[in-house]
């Protein structure tokens, strides 16, 4: 299977790059496994004080590979093909529980489950072109995992607005809402994230780990339940006629016709 995750170390940061440009850095089930393994590897590196998650070229992550998903919708083993939802839920919880700070460096759009990855990070650094969006509602799908994290980070009202409308959030709007930490030019996004890692390295690693536990673990049980339910809802939505129509319409570049 194709390796779509790259890792490099620039102490005090370690960088994970989603490198699947042929599919706009879409996530596959195997890619999620690789991403989890990359996190585990950087966890073991004592000199790496923060992890930067970014994408190759001009996009952070476009979420689920809809061409691959379309193929699975036509498969007799449809439900077994949706293991990526459980893998993503497990990865998001691992990110929230990760002992080191995680910085999402959005070098471009973060779409669908790509937005979920950004929301599971502790900081978001974005370029001006880095739109944040969960457009699944227009594909006949449910953004179950992204909604749970939007609710966790920003509350139910914001989650409903972006989940039900499928509207895009600009980096400026994200910063005004307190979600985006900083906005920089595209060529500076990694450098700004690395500088943030340098700033974090001046603090106590043990104290930072305890801060993350305080921020995330105190509601971990409820959040884990939300993500588990979200993963199940995503998988269920993929079995509907609207999912088939929505995905086909998107890939055929036409408006969906809902029954």
pLDDT tens for 176-190 read: 999 999 999 999 999
Asked if the structure places residue 198 within a domain, the reply is no
Q: Assess whether pLDDT exceeds 90 at residue 49.
A: yes
Confidence (pTM): 0.94
Asked if the structure places residue 242 within a domain, the reply is yes
Whole-angstrom Cα distance, residue 18 to residue 15?
10
Phi/psi of residue 18, each to 5°? -80, 110
Q: What is the domain range of residue 66?
A: 5-188+204-251
98 burial via Cβ count (<10 Å: 0-12, 13-18, 19+): buried
Asked if the structure places residue 197 within a domain, the reply is no
Residue 95 · residue 39 · CB < 8 Å? yes
Per-residue pLDDT band at 123 (split at 50, 70, 90):
very high
Asked if the structure places residue 136 within a domain, the reply is yes
Q: What is the pLDDT of residue 114?
A: 97
Residue 141 · residue 238 · CB < 8 Å? yes
Q: Assess whether pLDDT exceeds 70 at residue 7.
A: yes
Total domains present in the chain? 1
Q: What is the pLDDT of residue 66?
A: 87
Asked if the structure places residue 256 within a domain, the reply is no
Asked if the structure places residue 194 within a domain, the reply is no
Per-residue pLDDT band at 2 (split at 50, 70, 90):
confident
Whole-angstrom Cα distance, residue 118 to residue 106?
8
Q: Which residues contact 98 (CB under 8 A, 6 or more apart)?
A: 39, 43, 51, 212
> Which CATH number do you get for residue 62?
3.90.226.10
Judged by DSSP in three states, 239 sits in: coil
Residue 5 · residue 17 · CB < 8 Å? yes
Percent of the residues in the chain that have a pLDDT greater than 70, as a whole number: 95
Asked if the structure places residue 259 within a domain, the reply is no
| Cis preceding-peptide flag for 79 (omega within 30 of 0) | no
Least confident interval from 60-74, 125-139, 242-256? 60-74
Whole-angstrom Cα distance, residue 190 to residue 196?
10
Asked if the structure places residue 97 within a domain, the reply is yes
List pLDDT tens digits, range 67-121: 888 877 665 555 555 688 999 999 999 999 999 999 999 999 999 999 999 999 9
Q: Which two tokens stand for residue 110?
A: 């973060």
Q: Which residues contact 148 (CB under 8 A, 6 or more apart)?
A: 223, 226, 227, 229, 230
Q: What is the pLDDT of residue 219?
A: 73
| Average pLDDT of span 56-77 | 82
Q: Over the chain, what is the mean pLDDT?
A: 92
């Amino acid at each position: 299977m194709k390796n779509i995750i790259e890792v490099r170390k620039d102490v005090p940061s370690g960088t994970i790059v989603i490198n699947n440009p042929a599919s706009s850095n879409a996530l596959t089930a195997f890619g999620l496994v690789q991403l989890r393994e990359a996190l585990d590897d950087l966890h073991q590196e004592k000199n790496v004080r923060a992890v930067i998650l970014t994408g190759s070229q001009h996009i952070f992550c476009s979420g689920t590979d809809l061409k691959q998903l379309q193929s699975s919708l036509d498969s007799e083993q449809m439900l077994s093909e949706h293991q990526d939802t459980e893998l993503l839920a497990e990865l998001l919880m691992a990110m929230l529980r990760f002992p080191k700070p995680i910085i999402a460096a959005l070098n471009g759009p973060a779409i669908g489950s790509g937005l979920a990855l950004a929301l599971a990070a502790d900081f978001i650094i974005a370029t001006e072109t880095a739109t944040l969006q969960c457009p699944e509602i227009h594909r006949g799908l449910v953004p179950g995992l992204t909604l749970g994290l939007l609710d966790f980070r920003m509350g139910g009202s914001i989650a409903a607005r972006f989940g039900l409308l499928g509207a895009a959030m600009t980096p400026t709007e994200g910063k005004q809402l307190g979600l985006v930490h900083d906005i920089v030019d595209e060529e500076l996004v990694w450098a700004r994230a690395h500088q943030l890692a340098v700033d974090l390295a001046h603090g106590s690693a043990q104290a930072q780990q305890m801060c993350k536990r305080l921020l995330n673990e105190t509601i971990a049980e409820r959040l884990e339940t939300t993500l588990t339910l979200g993963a199940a809802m995503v998988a269920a939505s993929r079995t509907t006629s609207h999912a088939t129509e929505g995905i086909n319409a998107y890939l055929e570049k036409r408006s969906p016709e809902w029954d």
